Amino acid sequence: MPLDSNHPLNSLGFAKPPAQTRVVVAMSGGVDSSVVAAELASQGYDVVGVTLQLYDHGAALAKKGACCAGRDIHDARRVAETMGFPHYVLDYENKFRAAVIDEFADSYLAGATPVPCIRCNERVKFKDLLETARDLDADCMATGHYIQRKMGPQKAELHAAADAARDQSYFLFSTTQDQLNFLRFPLGHLPSKDDTRALAAKYGLSVADKPDSQDICFVPNGNYAAVIEKLRPGAADPGRIVDVDGTDLGEHRGVIHYTIGQRRGLGIGGLEDPLYVVRLDVDRKEVVVGPKSMLSTRIVPLREINWLGDVAITDQAEWHVMVKVRSTRPPRAAILRPISETEATVELLTPEEGVSPGQACVFYDPDSTRILGGGWIWRG
């Protein structure tokens, strides 16, 4: 149905009744996306629930704390039955393996610290699933992410969630403007997760008390090394731990077991000053350690930048922004200097420790909650 200029905008921003507005809800089986689906269905929207099967669930059926296990597909289906809307399970296993898992393994083997949840949003959920939503003639796609979409004077804008403790903007920086125009995030304005659970209880959803997912969905019990060793045999070959001058300090049990900034578990006690992992040399199978001061970084090279500002990133030589270089850290003041539309350097006004290739650097407007985009950290 075409938009009716005489009809007031509904809660999803369309000038037509909810019953004539189709919304595909990406349902993980958790409480967040379940509440989104239930809330929209209760408001009378034409809801279609979709759950993605992303990997072989055989080993994960009994596993708690993962977002995509077989139990979660069952939970999503029950919510759809409770609220009376159709639900589909799509097999994206091959796409997920090619777009997310393989790169995750290769990034670790290259000495980087990848963030597969960002790649999953970028390459699977907000790409393939979003295209599926369009194929289903949906007006928009809604997710349970804690982030806000607001209409600015020029276009739809991405803003941090009202609840800073739940904000997921770090994981969604690569959302493009075209995707943002089609996406909706109905939970982003809620003050706390308690409000989400209260809504789940209100609708009588079986997932109201379901615990939040903690692990990366395809990494059981957070054991990255076991997953990578299975995907890339030989990845856990032992090698040497050396200092920055090349002095041999002992043996390690495989580069994939170590991350930049790690101090514990190195097995090189007896030294006067504590040493940290400062570099991983995969080709030489060396874990390079040094003093904490070597972890301090001021200049961060970025590539694959996604920019959501109102003018091109190259319109200014410098942008004064706030940035996050890790999902768990608060934004810090920085200067963004574009090299091209997809490359830049960021100068951190206060140096940060443990900045690692493979992580994201996300840009925030210093004067508001708006996300201006971000890029991927690399060695330069």
Give the pLDDT of residue 63.
46
Task: Give domain 237-290's CATH superfamily.
Answer: Adenine nucleotide alpha hydrolases-like domains (2.30.30.280)
Q: How far apart are CA 317 and CA 62, in angstroms?
A: 53
Q: Is the pTM of this model over 0.85?
A: yes
The reported pLDDT for the residue numbered 5 is 58
- Is there a common fold for 18-221 and 296-377? no
| C-alpha–C-alpha distance, residues 10 and 17, integer Å | 7
- What residue spans define the domains of the chain? 18-221, 237-290, 296-377
Domain 18-221 sits in CATH at 3.40.50.620
Q: Which of 67, 120, 140, 361 is labelled catalytic?
A: 120
> Residue 111 has what pLDDT?
75
* CA distance linking residue 116 with residue 105, whole number of Å: 10
Position 184: which residue type? Answer: R
CATH number attached to the domain at 296-377: 2.40.30.10
Residue 66 has what pLDDT?
46
> Which residue pairs from 130-137 have beta carbons closer than 8 angstroms and sit at least 24 positions apart in sequence?
130/179, 130/182, 130/183, 132/24, 132/50, 132/90, 133/24, 133/50, 133/182, 134/182, 136/22, 136/24, 136/48, 137/22
Q: Residue 183 and residue 28: Cα distance in Å, rounded?
A: 16
Residues in the chain where the model's pLDDT stays below 50: 1-2, 57-68
> Do the beta carbons of residue 34 and residue 75 sit within 8 Å?
yes
- Any catalytic annotation for residue 68? no
Look up residue 295 and give its amino acid: L
Query: Is there a catalytic annotation at residue 120?
Result: yes
